[in-house]
Amino acid sequence: MKDFISYSDEELMQEIKADNMFAFDLLYKKYSARLYKFGYSLLKSQEETENLIQDVFLNLWQSRKRVNKGSSIKSYVFTIAYNLAISNLRKKVRDTEFVDYLKSLQEINEEPANVELEYNELSDKLDKILESLPKRQKEVYILHRVEGLKYSDISERLNISENTIENHMSRALKTIREKLGNYSLTVLLFCYLFV
């Protein structure tokens, strides 16, 4: 049985559109950990973030037939997560401890189209950078950052030392940071969450 690394997002989405629950489960495994980090960075609550992740994937499942072919699934689910998280925060506006937090998000809220555009550009650029990495670096990066495996688990799976894995990760992250270049504040958030 193949894991989610073996399938592209487009292949998974085609299967999901055909009501394939296995493909949906693979897509969930592929993005849930990163969506959790993203959601938690905004909501600062484990329970609310877990509910957010459920809502994101429920939304994806319910709208699966309407997702355009060739659309970036990664951008799609992160945009849903961002919008749901911001809606959640707006509902708490009466709670005084969230007022300052919402003010800090105001700049982002004023130009959501720019944030989404910049995120899409960053996401596409990261995908290209990952494709350009040496095979082993890319494999280690995906196993650690996407699948969430510990170095010890990766070491066992790939039959290489943890020091070698650490070296591959270090080189991959250095390359990614260098090639991402200078973006605005969004790149800092992006790097913090995904790189």
Q: What is the mean pLDDT of residues 151-179?
A: 87
Q: What is the mean pLDDT of residues 153-180?
A: 86
Answer for the pair 125, 179: CB distance below 8 angstroms, yes or no: yes
Q: Is the pLDDT of residue 191 over 80?
A: no
Reported CATH class of domain 1-110: mainly alpha
pLDDT at 71: 76
Q: What is the mean pLDDT of residues 174-193?
A: 59
pLDDT at 144: 80
Of 126 and 157, the structure prediction assigns the larger pLDDT to: 157
Secondary structure E strands in the chain: none
Q: Is the pLDDT of residue 76 over 60?
A: yes
pLDDT at 54: 93
Confidence of residue 74 (pLDDT cuts 50, 70, 90): confident
Delimiting residues of CATH 1.10.10.10 domain(s) in the chain: 124-195
pLDDT at 182: 54
Q: Is the pLDDT of residue 70 over 70?
A: yes
Cβ-Cβ contacts under 8 Å for 88 (sequence gap 6 or more): 43, 48, 52
Delimiting residues of CATH 1.10.1740.10 domain(s) in the chain: 1-110
The per-residue pLDDT for range 27-55, each reduced to its tens digit, is 999 999 999 998 888 888 899 999 999 99
Q: Counting runs of H as helices and runs of E as strands, what totals does the chain give?
A: 10, 0
pLDDT at 41: 85
The yes or no reply on domain 124-195 and CATH 1.10.10.10 is yes
Q: What is the mean pLDDT of residues 122-145?
A: 83
pTM for this entry: 0.48
Q: What angle do CA 16, 78, 140 make, to 5 degrees?
A: 80
Confidence of residue 188 (pLDDT cuts 50, 70, 90): very low
Rounded to 5 degrees, what are φ and ψ at 178? -65, -45
Among 5-9, 134-138, 187-191, where is mean pLDDT lowest? 187-191
